[in-house]
């Protein structure tokens, strides 16, 4: 792993640990995260501080991966996927003052190896998407997804397991 910094009109990459043969397309914002070898990061992606992404992943365009997310190896993330890290988001405190970093609880999310998340999905905070699981396009994941199952819908529900049941 090497640490890189790029600040250009087409990319902002700040203090990112990056593996070998990583492809990063234009118009991305990457901050203090870690990206494993042979991973591809598409156009218009933001990956925030503390995020860990394994090797051999594909992060498609227009995806937002917020602080507190850990993604295993071999994971596919479709276009326009959003991760959420705050269960009760608000712009201000009860006194009307803007919230700052100390005014909210970061709730981590994990995506295990070889999982796939379909285009347009939203992954709520605090969930674990199990190894080899598949999230259907447009799903809203509000609960853990067992390994080797397919979920879909809003909220996402199990529709098949490894035997296709």
Count other Cβ atoms within 10 Å, centred on residue 120: 16
**pLDDT class of 107 with cuts at 50, 70, 90:** very high
For the ranges 23-37, 52-66, 87-101, 108-122, the lowest mean pLDDT is seen at 87-101
Residue 65 placed within a domain: yes
Domain that holds residue 11: 2-86+106-160
Nearest in space to 122 (alpha carbons), one of 161, 81, 153:
81
Please write the tens of the pLDDT for every residue from 112-154. Answer: 999 999 999 999 999 999 999 999 999 999 999 999 999 999 9
pLDDT number for residue 41 = 98
- Of the residues 56, 62, 79, 148, only one is catalytic, namely 62
Mean pLDDT of the chain: 94
Residue 92 placed within a domain: no
Residue 34 placed within a domain: yes
Residue 38 placed within a domain: yes
pLDDT number for residue 130 = 98
Residue 95 placed within a domain: no
Residue 97 placed within a domain: no
CATH code of the domain containing 155: 2.160.10.10
Share of the chain above pLDDT 90, in %: 79
The yes-or-no answer on residue 62 being catalytic is yes
What percentage of the chain's residues is helix, strand, coil (to nearest 5)?
0, 40, 60
Give the β-pairing of 11-18 and 34-35: parallel
pLDDT number for residue 5 = 81
Q: How many domains does the chain have?
A: 1
Residue 94 placed within a domain: no
Q: Which two tokens stand for residue 14?
A: 């700040």
Residue 151 placed within a domain: yes
- Between 94 and 62, name the one with better pLDDT: 62
């Amino acid at each position: 792993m090497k640490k890189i910094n790029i600040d250009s009109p087409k990319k902002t990459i700040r203090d990112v640990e990056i593996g070998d043969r990583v492809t990063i397309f234009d118009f991305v914002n990457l901050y203090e995260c870690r990206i494993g070898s042979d991973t591809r990061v598409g156009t218009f992606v933001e990956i925030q501080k503390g995020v860990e992404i394994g090797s051999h992943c594909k992060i498609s365009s227009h995806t937002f991966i917020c602080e507190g997310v850990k993604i295993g190896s071999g994971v596919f993330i479709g276009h326009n996927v959003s991760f959420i890290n705050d269960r009760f988001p608000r712009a201000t405190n009860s006194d009307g003052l803007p919230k700052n970093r100390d005014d909210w609880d970061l709730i981590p999310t994990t995506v295990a190896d070889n999982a796939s998340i379909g285009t347009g999905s939203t992954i709520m905070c605090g969930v674990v998407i199990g190894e080899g699981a598949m999230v259907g396009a447009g799903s809203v994941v509000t609960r853990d997804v067992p390994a080797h199952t397919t979920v879909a819908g809003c909220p996402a529900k199990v529709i098949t397991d490894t035997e296709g049941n």
